[in-house]
Amino acid sequence: MRDAMRDRINVALKAAQDEGDKRRCATLRLVQTAVKDREAAAREHGKDGVNDSEVIEILQKMVHQREASAEEFESGGQLDLAEQERVEQDIIREFLPAQLSQDEMRTLCEETVKDIDAHGLRDIGRCMNELKTRYPGKMDFVQASCLMKDMLRIDGNGPKDAGKG
């Protein structure tokens, strides 16, 4: 089960090769290379490679990188390159867990604040660690952090007043 993500990527690469889909092959090879690089770095530090949650982190980072690149290309008038970045982004997203909606994320943030009895911005780290443990790869943790800060900033009493303002 440890290599489930890598197995899915390998199967997809093989299928793309059989279909002659060069863009998909190139993107999946980039993913494999990023995973292998992270794995090599982990082994240098005495770890036993990377697990699926770390592969998900790598994929999320790759998606964010392509989003940023696409926006830069668009602002520079290079629409064809922006489109290539978006295609790669879509290919990579296929391997990520379904993302939670904004409302679902808000609800889970509120529950987490209550569960760990957070009382202000000083508890943001604990809240975010708990979210990352409970929902790895299922939400944008940058957005979740912003939501959490808003909830904890209101008056330091958690999410009960988050709707005000």
Q: Answer whether residue 162 is part of any domain.
A: no
Q: Answer whether residue 163 is part of any domain.
A: no
For 10, the domain range is 4-94
39 plus 85 within the same structural domain? yes
Last residue of a domain, one of 94, 117, 132: 94
* pLDDT (tens digit per residue) in 12-41: 999 999 999 999 999 999 999 999 999 999
Structure confidence at residue 30 (pLDDT): 96
Domain count, the chain: 2
Structure confidence at residue 5 (pLDDT): 86
84 plus 106 within the same structural domain? no
The answer on pLDDT for 1 being more than 60 is no
Question: Rounded to whole angstroms, how far apart are CA atoms 108 and 134?
Answer: 10
Other Cβ atoms less than 10 A from the Cβ of 164: the count is 7
Closest CA to 106 of 144, 153, 152, 160: 144
Structure confidence at residue 13 (pLDDT): 95
Q: Answer whether residue 18 is part of any domain.
A: yes
13 plus 90 within the same structural domain? yes
Structure confidence at residue 2 (pLDDT): 54
75 plus 112 within the same structural domain? no
Tell which wins on pLDDT, 164 or 9. 9
CATH code of the domain covering residue 36: 1.10.1510.10
The answer on pLDDT for 111 being more than 50 is yes
90 plus 107 within the same structural domain? no
CATH code of the domain covering residue 132: 1.10.10.410
55 plus 8 within the same structural domain? yes
Q: What is the DSSP string of the chain?
A: -TTHHHHHHHHHHHHHHHHT-HHHHHHHHHHHHHHHHHHHHHHHTT-----HHHHHHHHHHHHHHHHHHHHHHHHTT-HHHHHHHHHHHHHHHTTSPPPPPHHHHHHHHHHHHHHTT--SGGGHHHHHHHHHHHSTTSS-HHHHHHHHHHHHHTTSS-GGGTT--
Provide the pLDDT confidence category of residue 68 given band limits of 50, 70 and 90: very high
* pLDDT (tens digit per residue) in 112-151: 999 999 888 889 999 999 998 888 878 888 888 898 988 8
The answer on pLDDT for 95 being more than 80 is yes
20 plus 90 within the same structural domain? yes
